[in-house]
Amino acid sequence: MLLHAYWDRIGAGRSWRARCRPAWPAASMTTTALLTVTSIAFALGISSMEGAKHLIRDQAGILAGIAALPKLRTLRPRLGVIADACDPLALHREIAGAMLHADAPALHVYYVDDHFVPCEGARPVPRGRDTKRRCAQPGRADTVVTDYHGRAVCFADGEPSGLAATLPPALDQLRQVIGPAAPVLLGFDRGGSCPVVFRACRGPLAPCTVPPRRYWAAGATAGPPRF
């Protein structure tokens, strides 16, 4: 039930109603109720929509103000209609911005990391290195930006290529969430140690207003080493 208070604090319902306007009969379930019960299902521990079938449908539905959690054959098509009728990334950025504005202190500290996600399906996808199995296999790279408290703020998804290539697009997403003028202290591991990444993090340099000058320093005199 804490989720309801949090959603009200960040205005999630207003964002859902404003950005998600699918075309289905008015007598059917509302968009807010459907997204609420889906979010609750993930908060209860499912890792994919397939896991919703393991929840007690009538008990999960009560938490969202509906009779029961829809079955998968209803839930998946309805979520697909919502995704087609809105910009999911724009909705995510709006919710993430509201989350940071409501909760996060003025730390402006973020951490970026990428992970290889193996794909076992039949669709041909590029191959990348799975560090857990220590071999190359089909999959994708997920780059996630989290705040100081470890909460996901934004993400980027693409072909396996390494953090040096995926970090700059993730920073563009972060800037859209927090605004163009907000300060950022960014942390990442050695996978992002690349001139391209440092240029993306640095931004434009301030103009130099002092003319350069040359100074000469006398050499140190010989003697015992000093520590």
Q: Identify the pLDDT of residue 218.
A: 75
Q: Identify the pLDDT of residue 79.
A: 87
Inter-CA distances, 35 with 76, 151, 223, Å: 12, 20, 75
Q: Are 72 and 57 in contact (CB under 8 A)?
A: no
Q: Identify the pLDDT of residue 196.
A: 80
pLDDT digits (tens, 9 = 90+) for 51-96: 888 888 888 888 888 888 888 888 888 888 888 888 888 888 888 8
Note the pTM of the prediction, 2 decimals: 0.64
Q: Are strands 109-118 and 127-130 parallel, antiparallel or unpaired?
A: unpaired
- pLDDT more than 90, % of the chain: 1
Q: What is the band of 149 on the pLDDT scale with cuts at 50, 70, 90?
A: confident
User: Is the pLDDT reported for residue 222 higher than 70?
Assistant: no
pLDDT digits (tens, 9 = 90+) for 156-203: 877 777 788 888 888 888 888 888 888 888 888 887 788 888 887 876
Q: What is the band of 224 on the pLDDT scale with cuts at 50, 70, 90?
A: low
Q: Identify the pLDDT of residue 26.
A: 54
Inter-CA distances, 181 with 56, 107, 148, 174, 213, Å: 46, 14, 19, 12, 33
Inter-CA distances, 112 with 38, 133, 207, Å: 27, 23, 29
